[in-house]
Every structure is written in C-alpha cells, then in structure tokens.
Chain A
Amino acid sequence: MFKKVLQSISKSLQRQTAPAKPVAPEVKPAPAAEVKPAAKAEKAPAESTLKKIAAPPAPAPEPEKTPEQLCGIEPKMNKDQIRDRLKLLYRRYNRAASSLDGKTRAEADKMLTAIVKVREKTFGEI
C-alpha cells in the first residue's frame, strides 16, 4: 500500500521549492539541519537551501494564540482525539526541549506549557 521513495533532504526541499507556490510560512527553521551538530559540522549543501527557506518573510504581528490554537485543537474534536493529539505533540516538543537551538527550545517550552493547559482543561488537573 505504501510506496517509499528515497528522498534526500536537499531533493525534498528542491521539490518543495520548485512550484510557484511559496513555501508555507510556518515551515520552521528545520531543526534537522540548523540545530544539529552533524549537519552543521558537515556544511552539507542542504544547509544553505534550508537556511533560505527558513528565513521567514517579515512576520505580521499576530494576536497571541490560545493554548488550543497552539495545539491545533478544534471544537469538533472529541476527548480521544484531543488525547491523541496531545500525546503526539508532547512527544515532539519534549524532544525539541533538548534541542541545541535556543529558539527551538523556547518554542518547545511554550508548546509544552500549552499542551499541559489543554490537558488540564479537558481532563482535569493532576
């Protein structure tokens, strides 16, 4: 059912940039290459490509997001869906919390706080 096509990081980025459609602004500075020592040390060509994409277009000031918005929780989601979503996010951002990149770490901490808030609202306090 699944076909797996090998795709190196540089190729996948070329694919993403090729069409006229701009890269979604929410593409975060890919921690993969920016933060991680190996990629940094190697100075692989991938890095420059990544950096280019990472530079966000001057961001318009956004209103502060609610914990639900940060976690992508929608009103129609039931408790099980929320639980699964929080689990996925916790796993992701707990790992990001030990990133070497200060920005990634700060984002992770903000997300973990939001995850806990949504959890408390949905399932009660510990």
Chain B
Amino acid sequence: MAEFVGIDLGTTLSGLAYLKADGNPEIVPNADGERLTPSVVYFDSHEDVKLVGTAARDGGDPDRTIFQVKRYMDDPEHIIKMDGKDWTPSEISALILSKLKRDCSKIVGDINEVVITVPANFNELARKSTIAAAEMAGLKVRRLVNEPTAAAVYYAHSQGVQGRVLVFDLGGGTLDTTILEVVGDNIRILTSEGARHLGGSNFDEILLEAYDEQYRKQVSAALFNDERQRRRSLHAAEDAKKMLSKLQRVSDTIGNDTSGLARIDLTRETFEKLIRNMITRALMLVEQALDSAKLKPSDIDHVVLVGGSSRIPKVKQMLEKHFGKSPKSCGNVDECVALGAALFAKKSARIQEVCNQSYGTLAMIYNAATGEEKVQNSIVIPKNSSIPCSRTQMYVTSEDNERVIEVDITQGEDEDPKYVDVIGRITLEVPPNRPKGCEVAVTFSYDENQRVRALVVDKQSGRSREVAVSYKGAGVLSDEELKRRSSFLRQMRIE
C-alpha cells in the first residue's frame, strides 16, 4: 500500500506521486506509460467506456470530449449532457481521479488516502467539489493543499534551500503565487495570491485569434467553422507556442477541408507582444503578493518557477527584471506540484499555512474625524493570517428596539461591499426595548483544516449564536447522493 500519496489535479495535466521508503517522492506513471495524464475525458459513442488522458485528448469527436473541467468546479450551472445523463464538473474530475487511482495502484499498491492540490484562490465550493470528486473515485482526502505550497515543499526538499521563497506557478488555467519562509525543516507560508483564468490556455486562445486573422488575410475565409476545426487549430497554436519557447520563429501550415491551407509565420517577438497584457497582469499579481507580505523584491531569496507556462522566456525575463536575479526552475516544472503533495502528506505538521480569504461582516463605518459614514465590508480575519486563528471585532447595533440582530458574513478583502461575497448570515434574537448602540462581538475562527466558524455575542443579554461558515448552497451533494454516484462510477469502464 502507498501511504503518502499526492495528486495534482491540473487544468490540463494531472499527476500522482507517492513517497518512497527513502523519503523521496516519485511520480507514478499511468497505464499508458505516461508520467502525467491529460485532464481530458472522452465519452465513446460505440462502447460503454470513458477514456481519460492522451487517448481522450487526441481522439475523437470534440462534442464528446471534455477539456479543462477544473475551470468550472465552482459553477453549479455547468452541467455536461452526455447520452441522456447530466455530468457535473466534479463527476468528470472523478473520472480522471479514478484512472489515476486504478492505474497507479497497479504499480505502488492500494491507494486510499491522498493529498490533492488546488489553486490557492479556489473558493469553498471548488474545494468541496474537489473533495467530492475524490470521494466518488474511492479516495479519502487527507488534506487539500494549495498548489504553490506543494511546489515549494518539493523545492525546499529537493534543493535544500533556506530563506524567503516566491513560487510563481503559471499553469494551463491559473496563475498562483506564494511567498513562504523556509527555516530548517519548517515552512511558513506568508501569503498566497492567485489569478484564475490566467494561464497557458489563454495564450493559446490569443494565438488562435492571430492565426485566424492571418488565415483570413490569405484565404478570405474563416479558419474554423465548427468545434472540431477550432480544436485542431487550437492544438496547432499550442504547439507553436511551445516551439516559441525554444525558437525565435516558427512556420506552420494550417487550414480546413473547405477553404484550403495557408502558411502562418510567427515570431517570438510577435507572440510576446500578443501576450504582454497577460504577462503584465501576472506581474501585478506578484506585486500584490509582495504587498500582502509587506516585502520588497530584494527581500526574496529565491524565485521558483513552476507550471508548464513558466517555460515561456518572457515570463522568466519579466521576473528576472523585477527581482534582479534569475528565477530558478524546480527542474520538472509540471511534476513538482504532485511531488510536493506527496511530501506534504507526510510533513503537513511542519507547514504553517495561512487563511486564503478575508472574513468579515457588513458595517456602517462612522469616521469621527471626517464625519463620514458608509456601509463597508468590515474585516474580522484578514487574508493571510496564520492558521489556526481566532479574531474578534466589536460592533454596536443600529436601531432602537431591535429584536433581531442580523450579521452578514462576508468573504473577500475589498472595503466596498459590491466586491465581496456574502456567504451566510447569523440572526440572533435579543430582548425588547433596548436603545441602539448595544455592543455586539463578532468572532471568527479558522482551523488548520480551513474550516471557519463565526460567533456572535450580544454583550448586554449574554445571548450568543455560533455557526460553521460553510458553503451549503447549490452544487454541494448530499452524503446519500455522493454514495449513489460513487457506486455508479465504480462500475464504470474507465481507461
């Protein structure tokens, strides 16, 4: 049996690693002989089989192929209809995890408990959907860990570095950046920031537009008219993008059956120009992370590159310019998240994490100095507080004779309520006939499993109410439903 197993459930590629007896992690190949499995599922129309991986990606009908489902893990309305059955993103992910479990356990023995990685800014629903996917695949989730944290754990382990490390993980669908401190064998996360929808597939789409433009100029027709043609062109664009990480210029012949072929020339310079806006956004995320940790670029000892898209030379240059030192690659940029997750499974007690979100409540904030008052998001636990933690803020009630105190629970850092999520509400009944201005204490606590609780105490009456701050809305399966779907999945042919 493999005791310490980590899985990187990526947007484009997934991988599984286990901890060997000597304490070093190793990637376990799938039954197709590949170290990483494309996160793609294909529903065959002839045989009752679900293909996962390269066969699915390169295979057949795009209408029956599911790509990049990770982007929708928190969207309850994203339903995939296939042969009369509705599939949720969580179930599609479960198919990918099932293949990893089945294939890899043939090599390393039974796999029961795993650590699964998620982008640092995955919200609660996306995290819950990931856990549900694992359960459907017959895996118990020991812990979810943020992808850059896992990568940093691997980097610190394999390179034996000490000091402040900034991990820059630019993958297929997301950018994550984390700053942490390595002291001896201990790791303390200082901050994690993420940008969803900033990754290699955005660059592919941008390149595809450029392809289409060049094609139209030459052929006076569109490059693609259906999904199959679009997929093929997208694939070609991705290949060209990868080539441009090594070469200054590439030429490609692309086209379709109806309008014929055209030759496309592309230089690295053009590509860099096309993605410059995205790369600047990436730099702004790095600056945001430094700000959150109250650090300057010169305070960072090591900049570590993770993720397939970190191979793009412009990305390295941008970081080198900003930090005044060249970033280090952790070698196997697309494997280190899974490798780190396997290490994390064993070492989690030595890793001090932070809370991923700010939690607070809505309050009318009155500034005595200026006389100004406005409704704001009043943060009780700021993002990046070391966990476990517990914080209290005092408020006063707003109206005379208030019978019910309502406390909206917010998630998000912005002062402006328009830009935060209200994820729940606590209502507390209080005695009648009280003037406004009674004191109310709001306490949030955050444990190491990233569970949040909120406690509201009315000071005068001593009445209180505590709730688990947990997303329970659309998209979360009941235990029974989960069981039903996992037994359904276990009977399925997945290859």
Contacts and interface: CB of A to CB of B under 8 A. Distances in A.
Are both chains from one complex? Answer: yes
Interface of A: 1-12, 15-16, 27-28, 30-33, 35-42, 44, 46, 86-87, 90-92, 94-98, 100, 105, 112-113, 115-117, 119-120, 125-126
Contacts of B121: 95, 98
Nearest to B314: A126
B484 interface: no
A6 B418 contact: no
Nearest to A100: B75
Nearest first, the 6 A-B pairs at minimum CB distance are A41-B473, A8-B406, A98-B196, A12-B375, A5-B364, A3-B366
Given A12-B417, A87-B291, A6 B423 contact: no
A116 B474 contact: no
Interface string B350-386: 0000000000011111111100000100100000000
Contact of B280 (A1, A10, A120): A120
A9 B408 contact: yes
Interface of B: 74-76, 121, 123, 125, 195-198, 276-277, 279-281, 283-285, 287-288, 291, 318, 321, 361-369, 375, 378, 393-398, 405-408, 410, 412-414, 416-425, 440, 442, 471-475
A9 B362 contact: yes
Q: Which of B287, B363, B378 has the most CB of A within 10 A?
A: B363
A12 B362 contact: yes
A37 B425 contact: no
Contact of B414 (A92, A115, A119): A92
B60 to A, nearest CB: 29
B378 A4 contact: yes
Contact of B364 (A7, A27, A37, A95): A7
Question: Does more than half of chain A's interface fall in helix, strand or loop, or is it mixed?
Answer: helix
B422 A41 contact: no
Contact of A33 (B287, B422, B440): B422
A96 B366 contact: no
B222 to A, nearest CB: 23
Given A36-B423, A97-B197, A125-B276, A6 B396 contact: yes
Given A30-B417, A90-B288, A8 B408 contact: yes
Given A37-B473, A94-B195, A112-B281, A4 B418 contact: no
